[in-house]
A and B are shown apart, each in its own frame.
Chain A
Amino acid sequence: MNIHEYQAKALLRSYGAPVSEGRVVLRGEEAKTAAGALDGPVWVVKAQIHAGGRGKGKFKEAGAGEKGGVRIAKSVNEAAEEAKRMLGRTLVTHQTGPAGKQVNRIYIEDGSSIARELYLALLIDRQTSRISFVCSTEGGMDIEEVAAETPEKILSFAVDPATGYMPFHGRRIAFALGLTGGQIKQCVSLMGILYRAFVEKDMEMLEINPLIVTTSGDLMVLDAKLGFDGNAVYRHPDIAELRDTSEEDPKELEASKYDLNYIALDGEIGCMVNGAGLAMATMDIIKLYGAEPANFLDVGGGATKEKVTEAFKIITSDPQVKGILVNIFGGIMRCDVIAEGVVAAVKEVGLKVPLVVRLEGTNVEKGKEIINTSGLDVIAADDLKDGAQKIVKAVKG
């Protein structure tokens, strides 16, 4: 689960991390008061969306101006104007996809004068199963690019959970980043703060990019991206409250209400599959036969008829869908339950596109009978390959 930058900064500030003063703005008329509460002389006005690359992004609407999603202002009025220009407009970055994301919240903060930009992250390392620090002198850049082009500029190490964070960990980072004097002590303190927040709040990712050294020589958190383990949010009601559902794809949000794993894609073949691995295998084989999947959808192991019906409705609500492939290898999931769910959904919302159904496994005969006697126009398939070939043929001709 992701949260906005301003929420991340407030959380880190509560742990004692050095963060600029700032105010969040939800409506244009609040902008002037928010900016006026800050000292200046420079204000930074930042669009709050759950996607990176905001500074280099572009707004779709001409009214938002030529600049990206992070703007510098020299007066309260200018800051308020920039906030108003961006609110409600659509920002496109390399992470949003071409459709972009609507900006519903703006964060106005005190500008910082930057001497150096650094990179810092904490994550759970798969190899050691421990919390790792990742740092680099190349702040403000995409860390994946740094990793690919100049891996020697990245320092990464894991912390032994038996000892927890220790000051030498912080010094190791400080010296790797070329910090000097009082910055070293600041770094040791800040790393301890971040480690504690990471553990206490069940984070899976904490990224400070950039971590800056100001012209007066102090460390400061200039941007913050926090990702929380969705499986652990149940024990952090304060974090659960920060969820902004307007940042999520409406179909994915609807699916999550029914505990369905759904991810919207750009293709034309809607898929309903049981199991994540089989769902990916189904997407791959659709592509192999020359079409594109419109979604990833795993109905899970213990789906009910109602859940299957909802899943089918979500797939058909996508106007790009030109055909549907249901691929079920029933184990825990019974084929008759799937069949009943599909039939109920089609009766409720109708069927305007070809539907191929492949059923195999537990109660397969019962499932096939339900489909065959339903009077629906369903193309039956024998196996995964046959199913993929038939739906691609039905859609592409």
Chain B
Amino acid sequence: MAIFVNSETRLIVQGMTGRSGTFYTDESMRYGTTCVGGVRPGKGGARHLGLPLFNTVREAVDATGANASLVIVPAPQAGAAMIEAIEAGIGTVVCVTERVPQHDMSRVKQALAGTDTVLIGPNSQGILTPEQCKIGVMPTGNAKPGHIGIASRSASLTSEILAQCSTAGLGQSTTVGIGGDTLHGVGFVECLKAFRDDPETEAVVLIGEIGGRAEEEAAAYLDSVDYGKPVVALVVGRHAPRGRRMGHAGTLSVLGGGTAADKIARLRAAGVEIAAHADDVVAAVARATAKAPQKAAAR
């Protein structure tokens, strides 16, 4: 088991014939992801990387039974590509594209409302269930299968934390990059819910940062349920200047709030073990697990 993607996932790639699309589709197949086709308007019927190409997402789904899509197209086309995948009923849509205009994302979110599609990204490294399915652009060398679920707003920091976890013997059930943008698909709350229902996941690590309300929403959710699994959080940007955009658009707060101190206080109050810095995550998982031995034993 895992969340959102696993060995049953059948992937199509929107933008597969592009340079990045070609490279990362090939990487995903080498990793073992079941890729079943690509979408390239006007090239339907042709083949690329040994896979069939389709003119529309709908055709690709009908022909291949695809249940996941990787959107790897230039920013001006990314919003429409996500909406096409959502309307075709794709179960998991992963968008790695950076710099998608916010008004386009606003439309994507309206298209998403009321559907069963799980959208991951944009501006995300993607999602990885080790040794089963990679959808995205993340390195996989340090990933190991195991029982830690990771949800993160930052790709590079995920690589760092994931390597520390694997070195310490903490493999991962699934790692989800929720993306660094202001408007995005799944957030920490959706990931926490999915990890809670996943029997393979024994503890969850949230990698957060300043800006937005993802961490506050996670804390409110954890307050509202008996979560039953240890949760650890790292929140970076404690010393970032206010009112600036620290690389990720999502780090900027327009109407106040969103400081690292606020987020840490809220998460701690909700029973989350806080990693003091990026080198403290493995130790924080150990502290959190030690605090909840009876719960772990009960499962």
**Interface, chain A (partner B; CB < 8 A):** 95, 123-124, 126-127, 129-131, 134, 143-144, 147-148, 161-162, 199, 202, 204-205, 229, 231-232, 234-235, 261, 263, 265, 273-285, 287-288, 292-293, 296, 298, 301, 329-332, 360-362, 383-385
Contact = CB atoms under 8 A, between A and B. Distances in A.
A148 B256 contact: yes
Contact of A280 (B101, B158, B246): B246
Interface string B172-204: 000000001011000000000000000000000
B240 interface: yes
Contacts of A277: 152-158, 180, 207, 209, 236, 248
Contacts of A148: 256
A329 B156 contact: yes
Contacts of B240: 280, 283, 296
Contact of A361 (B159, B243, B279): B159
Interface residues of B, number: 57
A143 B236 contact: no
B251 interface: yes
30 contacts: A124-B182, A124-B183, A127-B213, A130-B110, A161-B110, A162-B110, A202-B102, A204-B102, A229-B102, A229-B103, A231-B99, A232-B101, A232-B102, A275-B154, A275-B247, A276-B156, A277-B155, A277-B207, A277-B209, A279-B247, A280-B240, A282-B278, A284-B236, A284-B238, A284-B239, A285-B279, A288-B276, A296-B240, A331-B155, A362-B141
B169 interface: no
Contacts of B156: 273-279, 301, 329, 331
B241 A383 contact: no
A162 B109 CA distance: 12
A129 B246 contact: no
Interface of B: 75-76, 99-107, 109-110, 125, 137-139, 141, 152-160, 163, 180, 182-183, 207, 209-210, 212-213, 234, 236-241, 243-244, 246-249, 251, 254-256, 276-279
B237 A284 contact: yes
A273 B155 CA distance: 13
A334 B64 CA distance: 35
A288 B260 CA distance: 14
Contact of B213 (A126, A278, A385): A126
A329 B246 contact: no
Contacts of B183: 124, 126, 129
B239 A283 contact: yes
Contacts of A263: 241, 244, 246
Nearest to B249: A231
Contacts of A383: 279
B157 A278 contact: yes
- Shortest Cβ-Cβ A-B pairs, 3 listed: A275-B156, A277-B154, A276-B247
Contact of A126 (B100, B125, B182, B251): B182
Contacts of A282: 278
A277 B153 CA distance: 8
A281 B247 CA distance: 13
B103 A234 contact: no
B136 to A, nearest CB: 11
A231 B180 contact: no
A129 B103 contact: no
Interface residues of B: mostly helix, strand, loop or mixed?
loop
A279 B236 CA distance: 9
Nearest to B103: A202
A292 to B, nearest CB: 8
B101 A229 contact: yes
Contact of A385 (B106, B137, B247, B279): B279
A362 B139 contact: yes
Given A143-B255, A281-B278, A285-B277, A332 B139 contact: yes
Nearest to A276: B247
Given A161-B110, A202-B102, A232-B102, 4 more contacts: A231-B75, A275-B155, A282-B278, A301-B155
A383 B125 CA distance: 22
Given A124-B106, A126-B212, A276-B156, A284 B277 contact: yes
Given A162-B110, A332-B139, A293 B160 contact: no
Contacts of B104: 232
Contact of A130 (B106, B141, B180, B234): B106
A278 B160 contact: yes
Q: Which of A143, A204, A280 has the most CB of B within 10 A?
A: A280
Contacts of B241: 263, 265
A267 B35 CA distance: 48
Of the candidates B104, B243, B246, the one having the most CB atoms from chain A within 10 angstroms of its own CB is B246
Contacts of B160: 278, 281, 329, 360, 384
A147 B236 CA distance: 25
A95 B243 CA distance: 9
Nearest to A260: B247
Nearest to A198: B103
B252 to A, nearest CB: 9
A175 B277 CA distance: 49
A388 B264 CA distance: 22
B255 A276 contact: no
B102 A280 contact: no
B236 A144 contact: no
Contacts of B212: 126
A199 B101 CA distance: 12
Contacts of B76: 234-235
Contacts of A144: 255-256
A249 B246 CA distance: 15
Contacts of A134: 255
Contact of B251 (A95, A276, A284): A276
Nearest to B112: A129
Among A127, A131, A279, residue most surrounded by chain B Cβ atoms (within 10 Å): A279
Looking at B109, B212, B236, B256, which has the most chain A CB atoms within 10 Å of its CB? Answer: B236
Given A123-B255, A124-B106, A281-B157, A261 B277 contact: no
Contacts of A124: 102-103, 106, 182-183
A205 B154 contact: no
Contacts of B182: 124, 126, 204
A197 B142 CA distance: 48
Given A202-B102, A281-B278, A361 B157 contact: no
